[in-house]
Structure 1
Amino acid sequence: MNDIRLGVIGLGMRSDLGELAHRPGSGSLVAAVCDRDPRALAHAEERFGARVRTTTDHHELFDAGLDGVFVLTPDHTHEQIGLDFLAAGIPVFLDKPMAITTEGCDRLLEAAREHRTPLYVGHNMRHAPVVVAMRELITRGAIGEVKAVWCRHFVGNGGDYYFKDWHADRRNTTGLLLQKGAHDIDVIHWLAGAYTRRVNAMGALTLYGGLGSRRDRSGERMIDWLSAENWPPLSQTGLAPVVDVEDLSMMQMELDNGVFASYQQCHYAPDNWRNYTVIGTEGRLENFGDTEGAEVRVWNRRSEYRAEADLVVRVHTPPGTHGGADPALVAEFLEFVREGGATVTSPVAAREAVAAGYAATMSLRDGGKAVDVDPVDPKVTAYFEHDQK
């Protein structure tokens, strides 16, 4: 098998996906990288070999003979970089969220269709073992027909993850209900088998906005300041110069198949995990934990409160980042570049997650009024369901 040649745009925290794909002699290699920070480029050779091409301008990679490219830059840059590579005919792995507005996502989908360039969006949670386990239980009818999905997201590392760099500025993300929530909204859609068509939301900057310690962290990465000792949240120091995204938010969704769903997100919880509850016509399931040792429990009998479930599925987490989801995600993208075919992730679903999160953020900032979410153009949906495969 000849190695496919890959590019990596953005050498920040998510560039570990490029390292997973760099297997010279085993099917794929990173041939070129791009980052605006020369300090990041200085380490490219030790990460990807002496022959890796480096540049600060992604346009210079159009003639690098690439078979695919990972776009792993800050969220607000995804759209334009993605459009450029799609127009150049180079298959694109676009990290989530694919864009920070619904319109931006639609432009990307239309560009992929117009240029007939493969587009893949990195929703790695569709490969997370606990999510896969819940999906399989639902698919085989363990709780009957799904009627409600609830997700509580405890972002215990929120102060370090999202309030000390570009994430804290809504110009770069729209808001964390979209940026962080896109993962969970996509999972909710996947478990429910439908997309959101109406939302309302509430939330605010309830804690971090009152902290006066600010610092420009240009040239730093999150691992430089992440520490379990940064606790309690009110003791955090060195927040980003601009902090104007919400740290507490909650949204409600009406899906196009009649399922109702809710999503809550808190960035100063003491623990760091997601809890999903799915209720159907014949029972309820819920995950306890979302990494190694997690369980999915199912209740099918009528009763008062009881901790003992009728079915317990213990979830094994394989090696690799994000509970083994990232290696599976990269493997799927590489196979998609080589062979095409159906994938677990979906560009249309990725757009629908952003659209719901974007509409919810607009609702949150406008008194919580309900907002309708328009579907993807049917011609575009048909392309991704049939032609791209």
Structure 2
Amino acid sequence: MRIAVVGLGWVAREVWLPRLVKHPDMTVVAVADPRPEAVERAGSLIAGARLCAAPRDIGPGDADLVFVLTPNHTHEAVAGGFLRHGQDVFLEKPTATGADDLARLAESARAGGGRLLLSTAARHRADVGALARLVADGALGTPRLAELSWTRSRGVPAGDWFARRATAGGGVLVDLGWHLVDVLHQIWGAAPIRSATAVASADFLARGGWGAAWQSGGTPARPDADVEDQLTALLATERYGLHLRFAWASYETVDRTRIVLHGTEGTAELVTTFGFTTNRVTEPTLTLRRRDGERTVPLPPAGIGDEYDLHLDALPEALTRPDPTERSLREAHRALAVVDACYRAADTP
């Protein structure tokens, strides 16, 4: 499969490009970014790739799939341009920063025939798979409450655009929360939201120096930031309750991701660490609690970032499914509904 990569920031440089280069069934044929230094750096790692300054330089027929890894506020415009020309697109999360963007993506795909796939790597994690199997086997019964949290010790993103709603669409909820909401919807299914209450704050953005050591080290203070670095929310859906807690920085000693699913027949608790941080939970655990007692569910071995390799392996099959674009946009609408409900409840624009 011939791959073009548009947007050469951190997620391209550290996550996707190294894996695409090594993948036996994929070849990076072109890269594009308006920053000459970024294009030159990527070109030095990928022999034979065409180096482009703009998305428009990658035309129909140049690649089988275009990875759009640009800043959040450009997702619709860049991905939509390729879809209108009949080109298939893999789009990094969040799919869009508003429902209007999703509508335009749908129209672009209808007009040009390009197919849309979404970045959903967290679904491919080995520990998430073990949790999903418990649910599929009926171990929890009817869903009642989901607790989702991803709390970093130090992990404010490095890019300035992350701190501004106009370019990021939101803060930690959009950055970290989107992953966990997507996982929950994959395991338990989405449900219409009845009500929500939420509290958001930005204490660590204002102070600075709370950046991720694995990404950028200390970050400057951003007193003009208008996104949240912490968010807590409680939502009632038509099928289950939802408790959310996300933080780019905190006084925790390690970066911890926690998914707890409470059902009528049992509770499953996964404690692990998503992402690429080196400050991780030492031993991820999955615990099942039922009337007959508690047991630890064995987790298969997994390395940091394995889920991204597995995601690449699954892309060709994903393109062969009926209506991949309709599926992608439906999933994006459901995730965005949770994000919007939280921001409305927190009185955040």
What TM-score do the two structures reach when normalised by structure 1? 0.78
Counting only pairs closer than 5 Å after superposition, residues 1-389 of structure 1 correspond to structure 2 as 4-15=1-12, 16-23=15-22, 26-49=24-47, 51-63=48-60, 65-159=62-156, 161=157, 165-176=160-171, 177-211=173-207, 226-227=216-217, 238-240=220-222, 242-256=224-238, 258-269=239-250, 270=252, 271-290=254-273, 293-301=283-291, 310-319=294-303, 321=305, 324-337=306-319, 339-340=320-321, 346-365=328-347
CA deviation string 1:268-301 (max 9, x = no partner) = 2222121111111111110122467312111112
CA deviation string 1:221-269 (max 9, x = no partner) = 9879633xx5xxxxxx52347412112212223334x211121112222
TM-superposed CA distance for 1:86, in Å, is 0.5
Cα–Cα, structure 1 residues 224 and 143, in superposed 2: closer, same or farther, change >3 Å?
closer
**Aligned to 1:108, what secondary structure does the other structure show?**
helix
**Aligned to 1:77, what secondary structure does the other structure show?**
helix
Contact 1:196–1:356 under 8 Å retained in 2: no
Q: Which moved more, 1:52-61 or 1:204-213?
A: 204-213
Contact 1:125–1:325 under 8 Å retained in 2: yes
Cα–Cα, structure 1 residues 63 and 250, in superposed 2: closer, same or farther, change >3 Å?
same
Contact 2:207–2:222 under 8 Å retained in 1: no
CA deviation string 1:192-236 (max 9, x = no partner) = 22234334232233413542789xxxxxx9879633xx5xxxxxx
Q: Which moved more, 1:30-39 or 1:9-18?
A: 9-18
Identity among equivalent positions (%) equals 25
CA RMSD of the aligned region, Å?
A: 2.8
Contact 1:67–1:90 under 8 Å retained in 2: yes
Contact 2:130–2:299 under 8 Å retained in 1: yes
Contact 1:17–1:330 under 8 Å retained in 2: no
Q: Which moved more, 1:89-98 or 1:196-205?
A: 196-205
Cα–Cα, structure 1 residues 191 and 64, in superposed 2: closer, same or farther, change >3 Å?
closer
Match of 1:305 in 2: none
Match of 1:372 in 2: none
**Aligned to 1:141, what secondary structure does the other structure show?**
coil
What TM-score do the two structures reach when normalised by structure 2? 0.86
Give the letter for the 2:344 counterpart: M
**Aligned to 1:359, what secondary structure does the other structure show?**
helix
Contact 2:89–2:117 under 8 Å retained in 1: yes
Contact 2:289–2:295 under 8 Å retained in 1: yes
Give the letter for the 1:195 counterpart: A
Cα–Cα, structure 1 residues 313 and 20, in superposed 2: closer, same or farther, change >3 Å?
same
Cα–Cα, structure 1 residues 213 and 111, in superposed 2: closer, same or farther, change >3 Å?
same
**Aligned to 2:243, what secondary structure does the other structure show?**
strand
Contact 2:202–2:227 under 8 Å retained in 1: no
Contact 1:201–1:361 under 8 Å retained in 2: no
Distance 2:214 2:19 in 1: 22
Q: Which moved more, 1:274-283 or 1:177-186?
A: 177-186
Distance 1:14 1:280 in 2: 36
Distance 1:212 1:289 in 2: 27
Contact 1:282–1:300 under 8 Å retained in 2: yes
Give the letter for the 1:173 counterpart: A
Answer 1 or 2: higher relative contact order, Cα 8 Å, separation at least 6: 1
**Aligned to 1:318, what secondary structure does the other structure show?**
coil
CA deviation string 1:319-351 (max 9, x = no partner) = 452xx11101112124434x44698x8442123
Q: Which moved more, 1:73-82 or 1:61-70?
A: 61-70
Cα–Cα, structure 1 residues 199 and 14, in superposed 2: closer, same or farther, change >3 Å?
farther
Distance 2:224 2:213 in 1: 20
